[in-house]
Amino acid sequence: MADTYLVTGGMGCIGAWSLYHLRQAGLKAVNFDLSDDRHRINWLLSAEEQADITFLQGDLRDTDAVKRVFAEHEITRVIHLAALQVPFCRADPVLGAQVNVVGTVNIFEAAREHGVNHIAFASSIGVYGPPSEFPPGLVANDAPQHPRTLYGAYKACTEDTATVYYYDYGISSTTLRPYTVYGVGRNQGMTSEPTKALVAAAKGQPYHVPFSGTMQFQLASDVARQFILAAQQPLDGAFGFNLGGTPATVNDFVDIAGDILPDARIEVADNPLPYPEGFDDSALRDALGTVYDTPLPDGIAETIAHIQRLGERI
């Protein structure tokens, strides 16, 4: 029997790209999202192409609704992305915990009830603490997690939860920890600013990025493909992996955009984000074999070309 992939949060940025790649590969995808706003998926797939995907609207906090999705759609693979990002968790900590923590428990419970024995899901580099906690260089995959945001604390809790589900029920999991995801569709969340700057620049508008610093930029399309691979290649255990990439500054990002769009007017505030400069992805490379890491100049060029093709639609 062919696999059926559940994507949670497919109306979001990484989710929309996941649905895009699943559909392009001819795989059966079911999206479960609280939102029915298709603006991101409309930037990636035509209405006709979207007809190959099953779109369900529902709340991850609703245990029975999540279980029904597994039962009614005979889910065999899971890419769990739905979550509230840093600013939303800060604004409403209770809701943040309900969606990010309880919602993830609901996914594991549904998997347990319906015999799905592997889950791929999103954590974040937010599980780690500020740069002062780490030696210089890339942070190791097994470095201690001391989150300084509620969002990071909730993500760390989901990683621990996954470990317990492996020991107690044999459900394996692969969680990936993105850093700054960019690309078409990245229009909400703290680190969405560099992408918003590209959209503004492509439209001839000025933009002010409120933070600076060195970080790893990861193309949304690559991140989505990595989640699909993580769902397809179960590992024996509950594993959390950093996504990597060559660290670059926000100013590097803006300079690359300026090479493509010489009239771009993007300012960058002198305000480094309180995260380490980069995270080591060698554990991911060893475990999955393939890592999708489009070089930053190519990813920015691809994103600008995509924005330009969308024209007034974005």
Ligand X SMILES: NC(=O)c1ccc[n+]([C@@H]2O[C@H](COP(=O)([O-])OP(=O)(O)OC[C@H]3O[C@@H](n4cnc5c(N)ncnc54)[C@H](O)[C@@H]3O)[C@@H](O)[C@H]2O)c1
Angle between helices 296-310 and 193-202 (to 10 degrees): 50
How many Cα atoms within 13 Å fall on the side-chain side of residue 237?
A: 4
Q: How many residues are given for the chain? A: 314
Of these residues, 151, 154, 165, 275, which one is catalytic?
151
Residue whose CB is less far from ligand X, 103 or 245: 103
Stretch of 6-14, 139-147, 244-252, 275-283 contacting ligand X, by CB under 6 A = 6-14
Judged by CB under 6 A, does residue 293 bind ligand X? no
Judged by CB under 6 A, does residue 110 bind ligand X? no
Judged by CB under 6 A, does residue 188 bind ligand X? yes
**Cβ proximity of 11 and 81 under 8 Å:** no
151 is catalytic: yes
Q: Which of residues 233-292 bind ligand X (CB under 6 A)?
A: none
Contacts of 51 (CB under 8 A, 6+ apart): none
Residue whose CB is less far from ligand X, 124 or 174: 124
Judged by CB under 6 A, does residue 34 bind ligand X? yes
Residue whose CB is less far from ligand X, 81 or 171: 81
Stretch of 21-29, 77-85, 107-115, 162-170 contacting ligand X, by CB under 6 A = 77-85
Query: How many Cβ atoms sit within 10 Å of the Cβ of residue 242?
Result: 27
Judged by CB under 6 A, does residue 198 bind ligand X? no
Please give the residue ranges that form the binding site for ligand X (CB under 6 A). Answer: 9, 11-15, 33-35, 59-61, 81-85, 99, 103, 122, 124, 178, 180-181, 188-189, 191
